[in-house]
Structure 1
């Protein structure tokens, strides 16, 4: 490694995280799309994560602010995309996400469903699937926003059942409604609308919409790489491959198209940054954050050692590598938090905390509790510390 490469220290990487991820108070976003763009995309597997991740990065908000962005302004939309995972992205970025990632998922989903239909032996084929899809879209045009159950009630084809894995140990009978709806969503022909129940609910209604404009694949991937590198750099090709779910070759090509520059890190390795993005990063004001499970700041890299002590992983991650609710102080994860059944926000600091940190975390927990109000947050992926805190 050449010592002539610019050095970016761990402290500077944490400074970048506070500034660029909108977590330091002075860096918070003015609106919801800006908060999402700060980290490229918000994880949306858990309905609550979108709201809590956006809240942490907004100068001022309440749940209705984010609901308006999702369901009225439609300036933030959910797409099945990176790592075959549901994310919420700004409508400005959505065409690039759709073209770089979501369309490939849709093709794979269609191929898989057609294979299951053929193996089932009822004579259901591509023509039948096209008719079922059109019937679902027509029903949405008539009904307006509707849940999967309401769509199935209106479209007889969606009430069909098929046998998957016939003759195998995992043979099972399943309905086609969920698969057809998932396919329509992956194709961008329907989108998730306001759910039944509160903002924490994942029982979404669906609305008929037009697919996102196509962007050339290379252009779409390089735009994703450009934004990701600005938010998460310095980072490696392996980090980007992991974050996108693309192949290493695809990740490398996209990063190369951005003109990324090499820098050196304190551990002796090299990483990439955006062109010209090598100046020292000043420290933001002290900041604390209580981030939800799957928040992008905890899930943005394959190697998180610059902001996470490896000794904390057992407490803060589930068995599949999903991060739970975390407590941050000046760019480092220092603990975890949870909400008990009575609504109280409770936390445990695992290390790296002085009195200033404890005071800031206490203030942030109070702010979070007031924002959540009567809602109750239970992460879909439970971690050891989160379970302990609510027991």
Structure 2
């Protein structure tokens, strides 16, 4: 069966850009929000749910706690629906956590550290125990606050070369990130503005009194890839493996448990779930933020990106703010230092609607400056940097 790019773009618009009444509905429509940039979480929602506000997004994450921030696929930060966390945790986060633990133990054992660590296993057991105790006592705390309360978190890796980047660094961030990936801590509201990256931490019991429910990892991977194909299919094997961050064996095993239909795509052989519906959709204009889940949903992107990779992506493969018309990228945008959304179209398509959406986002931002963690050529140009 052949599926055209036009069909894929129409399904993308219907699935990813449908108007949603709640923050939770937006997250469901794209499965998970990229959360490396805190501002992108808000802007990904507000692009799709135009009646909502920044406060609505904050309330979903930090008041209702219906959304949870965690490190998962590809060792990337995501915001996930509370009820989906056990599946994502088992399917992706635990594998990331094992890799992080192995790396941390090797680094501490290899040294040099300050102070010297003679018994690595005893050291890591103590730092985890003391960190959990300090966090339960505090309720919530930043990494800096925890390191002041737990001296072992100030264990430092010392430089071994004269390279500029080889500097003394504390284990605080690596320990906390590893413990969160294992499901013991959760990132909570940052200190400062909604764009701040200074997240605090809280015990996982604030969300799950008995801890995140334990699921079989193989079954969780199958359930996650089914959910992904519902949102992002049809797609190629490479798309699935790239998005999940699994190895080929894990990817094949997860797909083997699903009722799939083989399809021919413009980028090669692909697959979709049996019964996949290709919805018709009306015209759409979207201004999506850096690292939006739609733009970062597939490895093979020509069918919606075309020849516009160079101005929109950095050298590490991270996309900046992008303008979408009818399921394909036609330009980019940025937020000026004054808080105005400025745009550039590569093609002159529906410019009045693009300008209107830029004006709406300017009003939503209300003067807030938004600078992506990974600036891209066009974003820097439009921002005047």
TM-score between the two structures when normalised by the length of structure 2: 0.93
Flag the 1:14–1:172 CA change in 2: closer, same or farther, 3 A. same
Hey, what's the Cα distance between the residues in 1 that align with 2:341 and 2:184? 39
What does 1:1-391 correspond to in 2, within 5 Å?
A: 5=1, 7-21=2-16, 23=17, 27-120=18-111, 121-163=116-158, 166=160, 172-210=167-205, 211-265=211-265, 267=266, 269-277=268-276, 279-282=277-280, 284-310=281-307, 312-351=308-347, 353-354=348-349, 357-391=350-384
Flag the 1:13–1:152 CA change in 2: closer, same or farther, 3 A. same
Q: Secondary structure at the match of 2:294?
A: helix
Count of equivalent residues: 374
Task: Judge conservation of contact 1:32–1:76 (CA < 8 Å) in 2.
Answer: no
Task: Judge conservation of contact 1:260–1:274 (CA < 8 Å) in 2.
Answer: yes
Match of 2:208 in 1: none
Flag the 1:109–1:11 CA change in 2: closer, same or farther, 3 A. same
Please report how far the alpha carbon of residue 264 of structure 1 lies from its aligned counterpart in structure 2 after TM superposition.
2.4
TM-score between the two structures when normalised by the length of structure 1: 0.91
Please report how far the alpha carbon of residue 173 of structure 1 lies from its aligned counterpart in structure 2 after TM superposition.
2.7
Per-residue Cα deviation, 1:290-343 (whole angstroms, up to 9, x for no partner): 000111111111111111112x11111111111110001111100000010011
Q: Secondary structure at the match of 2:69?
A: strand
Structure 1 gaps, min length 5: none
Q: Secondary structure at the match of 2:41?
A: helix
Task: Judge conservation of contact 2:11–2:278 (CA < 8 Å) in 1.
Answer: no
Hey, what's the Cα distance between the residues in 1 that align with 2:352 and 2:41? 26
Q: Secondary structure at the match of 1:92?
A: helix
Please report how far the alpha carbon of residue 58 of structure 1 lies from its aligned counterpart in structure 2 after TM superposition.
2.1
Per-residue Cα deviation, 1:44-96 (whole angstroms, up to 9, x for no partner): 11111111111122252111111111111111111111111111111111111
Hey, what's the Cα distance between the residues in 2 that align with 1:257 and 1:158? 43
Hey, what's the Cα distance between the residues in 2 that align with 1:171 and 1:385? 31
Q: Secondary structure at the match of 1:8?
A: coil
Hey, what's the Cα distance between the residues in 2 that align with 1:268 and 1:215? 35
Hey, what's the Cα distance between the residues in 1 that align with 2:267 and 2:137? 61
Structure 1 stretches of at least 4 aligned residues deviating more than 6 Å after TM superposition? 167-170
Please report how far the alpha carbon of residue 122 of structure 1 lies from its aligned counterpart in structure 2 after TM superposition.
2.6
Structure 2 gaps, min length 5: 206-210
Per-residue Cα deviation, 1:13-50 (whole angstroms, up to 9, x for no partner): 111111111x1xxx222222221121111111111111
**CA RMSD, Structure 1 to Structure 2 (Å):** 1.7
